[in-house]
Amino acid sequence: MKLKYLGTAAAEGYPAMFCDCENCRRALKEKGKNIRSRSQAIVDNELLIDFPCDTYYHCMINDINLHDIHNCLITHVHRDHLYPVDFLYFKNGFSHPAPDYKLNLYGSIDVEKIISELPSEITKYLNFVKVNLFEPFKAGKYTVTPMKAYHGTENPYIYAISDGEKSILYAHDTDIFPEETWEYMKNNKMYFDLVSMDCTEGAYEELNYHGHMCLGRNVKCRDRMLEEKMIDEKTKLVLNHFSHNGIHSNYTDFVPLAADKGFEVAFDGMEIDV
């Protein structure tokens, strides 16, 4: 399987709009991998994860025609992961989808609420599938398991994605996982070839805030996964979803700090093969 990161920033982007902080000023000046758009990823160029407002831009620069995509997992309803306004461009005249085109959108009841508010001329192209915690389902050729995230919406999910041979854990946005998730992974003997882990707050060791991770928490989470044999030394560990509020969080500053703890750092356009 191949995971491609289309966007790797938290909600406000990196650099953030309207921001005068040093991280943002330097990112804007240095550019390259320091520039991050809102969170989105795609598995094997066919299974989309999240639908932020930067989806349009991601499609253009990554040669993705959304009309060729039929499955999209939504992690949670923060606007950097679900931007329903762009679904309005399904409207006749704004686009010309094939009459039988459907985009299957998988998510929690929170997502259902938002999609159900869209007009029927839009929802005829969207097939919303409510998926439940700890109940594996099929999305195209993939078996996907929604698991509980520790984050600031009512029903946030992280997803385990398997093609039958390899498995990816896409863990955005979340703090160190809730106990129910640890228990489920352990009871089901889950093993991951790739873990993409939330690192919104950069190089901090600890935080007062709960709902995201920083490098210190990434290490704790990784160590527990190792202990529980959910990962091993062959597993690829990638940190993703960065905010300018973290310390040493510009790509160029953070790469050596993350490498020292055994992690790779995501950037827009990065591809990981497992």
Stretch that binds Zn ion, among 16-24, 59-67, 104-112, 257-265 (CB under 5 A): 16-24
* Cα 220 from Cα 229, distance rounded (Å): 14
What is the closest distance, in whole angstroms, from the C-beta atom of residue 94 to Zn ion in the complex? 27
Position among 27, 54, 77, 80 found at the interface with Zn ion (CB under 5 A):
80
- Identity (one letter) of the amino acid at 150? Y
* Cα 255 from Cα 257, distance rounded (Å): 6
Told to check if 237 binds Zn ion by CB under 5 A, we report no
Stretch that binds Zn ion, among 45-53, 77-85, 103-111, 112-120 (CB under 5 A): 77-85
Tokens matching residue 106: 């998988």
- Write down the H helix ranges in the chain: 22-30, 55-61, 109-116, 120-123, 179-187, 215-227, 251-260
Residues numbered 124-153 forming contacts with Zn ion, rule: CB under 5 A: none
What is the closest distance, in whole angstroms, from the C-beta atom of residue 254 to Zn ion in the complex? 15
Spatial neighbors of 154 by CB under 8 A, at least 6 apart, are 108, 109, 110
Position among 58, 148, 217, 244 found at the interface with Zn ion (CB under 5 A):
244
What is the closest distance, in whole angstroms, from the C-beta atom of residue 29 to Zn ion in the complex? 13
Told to check if 78 binds Zn ion by CB under 5 A, we report yes
Spatial neighbors of 183 by CB under 8 A, at least 6 apart, are none
Residues numbered 18-57 forming contacts with Zn ion, rule: CB under 5 A: 19, 21, 24
Position among 3, 6, 16, 214 found at the interface with Zn ion (CB under 5 A):
16
- Identity (one letter) of the amino acid at 4? K
Nearest Cα residue to 89 out of 78, 103, 79: 103
Told to check if 173 binds Zn ion by CB under 5 A, we report yes
Told to check if 201 binds Zn ion by CB under 5 A, we report no
- Identity (one letter) of the amino acid at 182? W
Stretch that binds Zn ion, among 54-62, 106-114, 171-179, 217-225 (CB under 5 A): 171-179
Stretch that binds Zn ion, among 129-137, 186-194, 218-226, 239-247 (CB under 5 A): 239-247
* Cα 70 from Cα 140, distance rounded (Å): 8
Where do contacts with Zn ion occur on this chain (CB under 5 A)?
16, 19, 21, 24, 78, 80, 173, 244
